[in-house]
Structure 1
Amino acid sequence: MQKIVLQLEELVCPTCLQKIETAVGKIDGVANLKVLFNASKVKAEIDPTKTSVDAVVQVIEAVGFDVLSQKVK
């Protein structure tokens, strides 16, 4: 499992957080998902045999949020 941290544009409402959690939570291979409202970050672990950081970024951007940076540990 790879740990990822994605810095997003500022999240302005709890609904934003729910949209991201719901969309990313549906991706096969994503575990321990946390969307940090105050920090505007998404933290998760991904199984690189099932998904990729780029796939997670695409889903977040598809629901209307810009990903400003990404870290993979």
Structure 2
Amino acid sequence: MYRIKNDRKVIAGFDDKHLNFRVSILLQDGQVSLSTWVSPHNLSGRLYLTAIMPFHIAIARTALSRVRHHG
């Protein structure tokens, strides 16, 4: 598990044999930004990334909506 945290930013993620994943959440000027990075290492990682990409935007929007409603 990978993690950096301060008052305005959290970066978390994990590395495995198929891919490395990071998510960044930044609070700045009353707004929340969400970014993700994925680095596939092999065919399994690329296949996983290909499968998840159509859903990625919906997942990110849902996550930000939950933050907005609970913040």
Q: TM > 0.5 between the two?
A: no
| Structure whose CA Rg is larger | 2
Higher strand share: 2
TM-score (norm 2): 0.33
Query: Relative contact order (C-alpha < 8 Å, sep 6+): which is higher?
Result: 1
Please give the TM-score of this superposition, normalised by the length of structure 1: 0.32
Greater share of helix: 2
